[in-house]
Amino acid sequence: MEKALPPIPAKRYFTIGEVGDLCGVKPHVLRYWEQEFTQLRPMKRRGNRRYYQHHEVLMIRRIRDLLYDQGFTISGARNKMQELLQVEREKKRNGEVLLDGVEVLEMNDADMADFVDSQPDELSMVDADKLYLVRRELAEIRDLLSAP
């Protein structure tokens, strides 16, 4: 069952159908997992529609991995999830930075220039300059976060 899952888009909320596609499980399985894993609590809106956030999609992928790839039972996966969440809480208490699930893209100035050049004509020079500044700031932040 080792099938690569698609990347998670940069969105705030995902419907149950979208999450099913992103995680390789059917919506009824997601509804069942909500009953079994208390950490999984999607926001519910009108008509009891579920809306999942990015961290919940990551959690579902982790649950899926435990159940489908590592062969855990529901009970075993529930216990393992509790352990993993406890470890993450300890890291937060100790001031460690958590970057789990964050994809780091390395891009040098030449790649950035190619990216800017490939954008539609609406991207002005001012926008391109702002993009370079944001990229530099983000690189500085990444360096600060990854420093020992």
For 68-111, the pLDDT digits (tens) are: 999 999 999 999 999 988 888 887 777 765 555 555 555 566 66
Question: What is the tally of helices (H) and strands (E) in the chain?
Answer: 6, 3
The reply to whether 82 and 21 lie within a common domain is yes
Q: Which residue has the higher pLDDT, 54 or 146?
A: 54
Query: What is the identity of the amino acid at 128?
Result: A
The number of folded domains in the chain is 2
Mean pLDDT across the chain, nearest whole number?
A: 81
Considering the domain boundaries, does residue 9 fall inside one? no
Closest Cα partner for 23 from 41, 43, 5?
A: 5
Considering the domain boundaries, does residue 88 fall inside one? yes
Question: What are the distances in angstroms from CA 119 to CA 10, 105, 123?
Answer: 19, 18, 7
Q: Which domain holds residue 136?
A: 109-146
The reply to whether 85 and 137 lie within a common domain is no
Considering the domain boundaries, does residue 101 fall inside one? no
Report field, pTM of the whole predicted structure over 0.85: no
Provide the CATH number for the domain around residue 29: 1.10.1660.10
Neighbours of 14 (CB within 10 A): 23
